[in-house]
Structure 1
Amino acid sequence: MANNTVRHINIIGHQNPDTDSICSALAYAWLKNRGSLTGLYEARRAGHVNRETRFVLQHFGVEPPRLCTDVSPQIKDIDIRKQAGIDGEMSLRAAWNLMRDVEIDTLCIVDSDNELQGLITIKDIADANMDLFDTAVLAAANTRCTNLLETLEAELVVGSADAHIDSGNICIGTSPEIMEELVKPGDLVLVSNRYETQMCAIDCGAQAIVVCCGSAVPRTIVARAQEKGCAVLATPYDTYAAARLISTAAPVRHFMRTKELLKFSVNTPIEDAKKVMASVRHRYFPILDENGKYCGVVSRRNLLNLHRKQVILVDHNERTQAVDGLEQADILEIIDHHRIGSLETTGPVYFRNVPVGCTATILYQMYGEQGLTPSREIAGLLLSAILSDTLVFRSPTSTPQDEAAAKALAALAGEDIQSYAEQMFEAGADLTGRTAEDVFSSDFKAFSRGDVKFGVGQSTYMTDKSRAAAEALVQPFLPEASRREGLPLIFYMFTDMKTQSTDLMFYGHNAEEIIRDAFHVEPEGNIAKLPGVVSRKKQLIPPLLAALQARQ
């Protein structure tokens, strides 16, 4: 698994989701999780919640699903390496030992809140070690005394472990004659077991001496060191080994890389990460979690072990209506009531397609089959979806099953169908503060047949006044919508529930002729009046497809 958290299976409807798309995703997640909206299965939405759906969710006290517009694999979908961050005070020696022990060549430095501070590689440590003439490195790095004790496996005879090396150079005391010229106040001096060199180093003002070869430190030296404020460390290493090791006590923060760090988020798409990795020679890259905290590293090799996102589609089965990246995800199930479109799957899936007026009706049947009664809230969502999709059973797509399901759900939800439907549709038709784009995209779907691509939107209204206002708002937006959606033909249905008719607005090449061929009506301006037409799925799409195919 990519991480320790449960990988959710996303249940998701089509782009520009309507009430059925969102409510069915929520209701199916509740069914799959056996009576909970939190669990392995998570409802998601592929676009903004329209006003009708927002009213429904607020009415029944249900939070809208999280947005998901792309199911392409991300860093979170691979096995990242959970290498813990290190403290910036860790010595180079300890960092090198850790790299060797866990077989990694990059370590990330973090603060106490797990914020990424920098990184250090095996090359950085090698470069630091090869800088043989940098005798001031411990002072420059303000090295802790504890780092010296650990690196040299030394005992602190005199001084404080909390002290820092903040001045002077590293030098080796060989004889008093040479040391008087060599050792300056504040230096760190490595000495052998010779009493004279030890005393001379202290008298020259060294801030610390390191007694090598495991030699005992005489009491007089201890007393003199205490008097002069000189720390004394005793190491079992000989002078040569101690000289080789001592500079590796410097903390990694002094050598770490901090500028222009190449790091990824758990949400970074794999394709983006691959491009970055191909452009540089680094092997490991830090990963930040959802909160921007360090959580591990990733290498090119990790990208090979990919866990594709798992999705269940509701209320659509056409590629053009689905979220991006679907071809890189595993589709587990499809629950739908539309025509079977252009979607391909990599393997066999559970596909339930029933000719009813609403996906929610299919879900209500599945609840019954599994012996589970929906809660009041879920029953309300299912009821709302059926009333919305069937236009309160007026749509030709509506079936007796839809009506029976709605009545049973209304009883569970404690709602009167007619009065509740009126509130719901009025909320959806309210244009207060809405933009043309908002109205247009509230229920818009793209379709394709052969080389022909077109889009059809639909809004439903209870009054002539609200419908006319919406038409005036949307009409100037259609050319822009055609450009944004990349569709040469756009049709938009303004459906009047009470008169059971639709004003069909259109834009695009030969759109007027196509409408004449499909519906045998004469458009007025850029609107065709279609009495008796209320269903996009059953009454509009089939004649449009027939007219388009006849022109090919």
Structure 2
Amino acid sequence: MPEAIRKVNVIGHLHPDTDSICSAIAYAYLKNQISDIEFEPRRAGAINRETAFALKSFGFDEPELITSVAPQIKDIQISRQQGISRETSLITAWNLMRDLKTGTLIITDEDNDLEGLITVRDIANANMDIFDSEVLSSSRTHLSNIVSTLQGELVSGNPDGVVTTGKIRVGTTPEMMEGFVEKGDVVLVTNRYETQRFAVEAGASCLIICNGAGVSSIVVEAAREKDCTVITTPYDTYAAARLISMAIPVRAKMLGKENVLHFSVNTSVDDAQKVMASSQHRFFPVMDEDGKYIGVVSSPDMLNVNKKHVILVDHNERSQAVDGLERAEIMEIIDHHRIGSIETSAPAYFRNMPVGCTATIIYGLFEENGVDIPKNIAGIMLSAILSDTLAFRSPTCTPRDKIVGEKLAEIAGVNVDEYADAMFDAGADLTGRTADEVFNSDFKVFSRGHARFGVGQASFMTENSRKAAEALVGPYLKDAAAANDIPMVFYMFTDVKSQTTEMMYWGENTEQIVSRTFNVTPESDIATLPGVVSRKKQVIPPLMATLQDMDED
């Protein structure tokens, strides 16, 4: 039977740029118009200032962050076992365990906050502790628990009362009880009037009359005067004495919240399995995203996992995707880059076109499905196209990109040149930014054979903003390589108006690689590349060719 689809995440690449974020939002919107399944745009990292400007300009919040699509607790079958009150008696808990065929019960408060858990072993241990005669008072046991445990009847006393003092005693004869029954004790007796009366006069706080025996009005009246509760039970003295300790509340024997291993619905299955392997418990409480208890899971539940369903936009390289992708179900890929290294476990819809921007492809999908593009969606799609094509100046820009961009600008009601200048200026603003933030605003990792390298790019409208970025990011390249576990880093500082890139680099032989690839002589660790503005078309292919040639030399 096909696996039910709970939700589909539409995700762009790591270190997201404007296209990956805006295309995810636009495509999720389209899919929600033509499908009954829920599609949700997500981001695979922090958004840059250019993207933030675009989202704010058209009234969007940034999508929720997603760092992994590996299975989580929410992707398995959670047993929706209801929590019990901390005042529940041990005998009630025991019977519930038997009915539910479980060895663990979760204890919660009235707001469904976790308080602890109790196991069948805890109850068994409590039942074996026959020498603890003060267990009722030390546990502050409710009289109602005693009545229900003994299947008895409250003859006299406060139904909301609590046992706070004394020991459990079995009364036989007044002679045997003298000096043995003390004030505050809980005394179990039979039908003998003198024994009942003596227990009351001795100051018992609770008189339990066994064997279903009657109790005289004189004893009841004396009990009321002495503030002694009277309970009758059909059980004989032996059975009642054995059962009464099972009236104590589960809170007296439970494992408290601070010691309970529990999981969030967002906990990964892998992490949960590691915790379970080191625990003696079989069942573990699960909390929802608000920290409220919703059910339990066990190790066998981890074997039947529902994969997450995802749509990838603006990338199809494994190195650029979120973690756990190999354990997810890829439903679609919408991209405009070279076909990379992602594999699918089943056939997937794959739309890959040689255009300048993913949003251009998505525009066509709106047309094919007969869905009108709202003004705000048109605005962010235009932002993506302007960003990826450097306002139609990049060699990756196709006539289709320009036509679509102009149509989207008309729907969004914006002037292309004015909006593009404002968006690029926002992206180039370095106020309060760190080298790490600027570097990761648009950075991707690539591989060819044994070689792995990263290429980042930032675009600037003025020389001053470009030079300031170079001064900030240049010294950080070594740290960036270490952070991404790659041996080589190349970074493009692109002047949009002059259509020139100054490239900085770090790593063994990177100067030689740049010189050989672009036929230039770098100066002061910077290579000036006139006419080079496209990472996808003008940088990645020749870099890969050079690395392959050097690998073969």
Paired with 2:168 and 2:514, the residues of 1 have a C-alpha distance of 90
SS in 1 for 2:112: coil
**Which residue does the alignment assign to 1:545?**
544
Paired with 2:82 and 2:444, the residues of 1 have a C-alpha distance of 47
Q: How big is the alpha-carbon RMSD for the aligned residues of Structure 1 and Structure 2? A: 1.5
Shift of 1:287: 1.7
Instruction: For 1:52, give the aligned amino acid.
Output: E
2:219 aligned with 1:221: yes
2:90 aligned with 1:92: yes
2:161 aligned with 1:163: yes
Paired with 1:492 and 1:230, the residues of 2 have a C-alpha distance of 85
SS in 2 for 1:351: strand
Instruction: For 2:415, give the aligned amino acid.
Output: D
**Which residue does the alignment assign to 2:210?**
212
**Which residue does the alignment assign to 2:330?**
331
Map residues 136-535 of structure 1 onto 2, 5 A cutoff. 136-258=134-256, 259-535=258-534
Paired with 2:225 and 2:472, the residues of 1 have a C-alpha distance of 90
Paired with 1:434 and 1:156, the residues of 2 have a C-alpha distance of 73
Shift of 1:477: 0.8
Paired with 1:75 and 1:380, the residues of 2 have a C-alpha distance of 37
SS in 1 for 2:465: helix
Map residues 61-140 of structure 1 onto 2, 5 A cutoff. 61-140=59-138
Report the TM-score, using the length of structure 2 for normalisation.
0.97
Shift of 1:293: 2.0
Shift of 1:39: 7.1
Deviations, residues 192-228 of structure 1 (Å, cap 9, x unaligned): 1121211111111111111112222211221121122
Paired with 2:7 and 2:428, the residues of 1 have a C-alpha distance of 35
Bigger CA drift: 223-232 or 439-448? 223-232
Shift of 1:181: 3.2
Instruction: For 2:218, give the aligned amino acid.
Output: T
Instruction: For 2:545, give the aligned amino acid.
Output: A
Deviations, residues 356-375 of structure 1 (Å, cap 9, x unaligned): 10000000000000000111
Shift of 1:423: 0.8
Shift of 1:276: 1.4
Instruction: For 1:492, give the aligned amino acid.
Output: Y
**CA contact under 8 A between 2:8 and 2:37: conserved in structure 1?**
no
Instruction: For 1:328, give the aligned amino acid.
Output: R
SS in 2 for 1:483: helix
Paired with 1:86 and 1:495, the residues of 2 have a C-alpha distance of 63
**Which residue does the alignment assign to 1:20?**
19
Instruction: For 1:263, give the aligned amino acid.
Output: H
Instruction: For 1:55, give the aligned amino acid.
Output: F
**Structure 1 stretches (4+) deviating beyond 6 angstroms?**
none
Paired with 1:225 and 1:426, the residues of 2 have a C-alpha distance of 88
SS in 1 for 2:207: strand
SS in 2 for 1:82: coil
What 5-or-longer segments of structure 2 have no aligned partner?
none
Paired with 2:187 and 2:235, the residues of 1 have a C-alpha distance of 14
Paired with 1:317 and 1:441, the residues of 2 have a C-alpha distance of 19
Bigger CA drift: 216-225 or 459-468? 216-225
Shift of 1:532: 1.0
Paired with 2:134 and 2:7, the residues of 1 have a C-alpha distance of 54
Paired with 2:496 and 2:466, the residues of 1 have a C-alpha distance of 10
Bigger CA drift: 271-280 or 49-58? 271-280
The count of aligned residue pairs is 547
SS in 1 for 2:410: helix
Identical amino acids, percent of aligned pairs: 58
Deviations, residues 396-415 of structure 1 (Å, cap 9, x unaligned): 11111111111111111001
Bigger CA drift: 27-36 or 336-345? 27-36
Paired with 1:503 and 1:230, the residues of 2 have a C-alpha distance of 92
Deviations, residues 447-475 of structure 1 (Å, cap 9, x unaligned): 00110101000011111111111111111
Bigger CA drift: 192-201 or 46-55? 192-201
Shift of 1:35: 8.4
Paired with 1:208 and 1:440, the residues of 2 have a C-alpha distance of 76
SS in 1 for 2:178: helix
Paired with 1:228 and 1:389, the residues of 2 have a C-alpha distance of 88
**CA contact under 8 A between 2:168 and 2:185: conserved in structure 1?**
yes
Paired with 2:433 and 2:183, the residues of 1 have a C-alpha distance of 77
Paired with 1:208 and 1:451, the residues of 2 have a C-alpha distance of 82
Paired with 1:97 and 1:16, the residues of 2 have a C-alpha distance of 55
Deviations, residues 39-87 of structure 1 (Å, cap 9, x unaligned): 7110000011100000000110111100111111111211122111111
Deviations, residues 379-427 of structure 1 (Å, cap 9, x unaligned): 0010110111111111111111111111111111001111111111111
Paired with 2:177 and 2:431, the residues of 1 have a C-alpha distance of 88
Paired with 1:378 and 1:275, the residues of 2 have a C-alpha distance of 43
**Which residue does the alignment assign to 1:49?**
47
Paired with 1:173 and 1:439, the residues of 2 have a C-alpha distance of 83
Deviations, residues 116-137 of structure 1 (Å, cap 9, x unaligned): 1211100000000001111110
SS in 2 for 1:493: strand
**CA contact under 8 A between 2:6 and 2:37: conserved in structure 1?**
no
Instruction: For 2:332, give the aligned amino acid.
Output: E
SS in 2 for 1:118: strand
Deviations, residues 72-126 of structure 1 (Å, cap 9, x unaligned): 1111211122111111110000000111011111111112222212111000000
Deviations, residues 130-154 of structure 1 (Å, cap 9, x unaligned): 0111111001101001101111111
Instruction: For 2:104, give the aligned amino acid.
Output: T
SS in 1 for 2:259: coil
Report the TM-score, using the length of structure 1 for normalisation.
0.97
SS in 2 for 1:285: strand
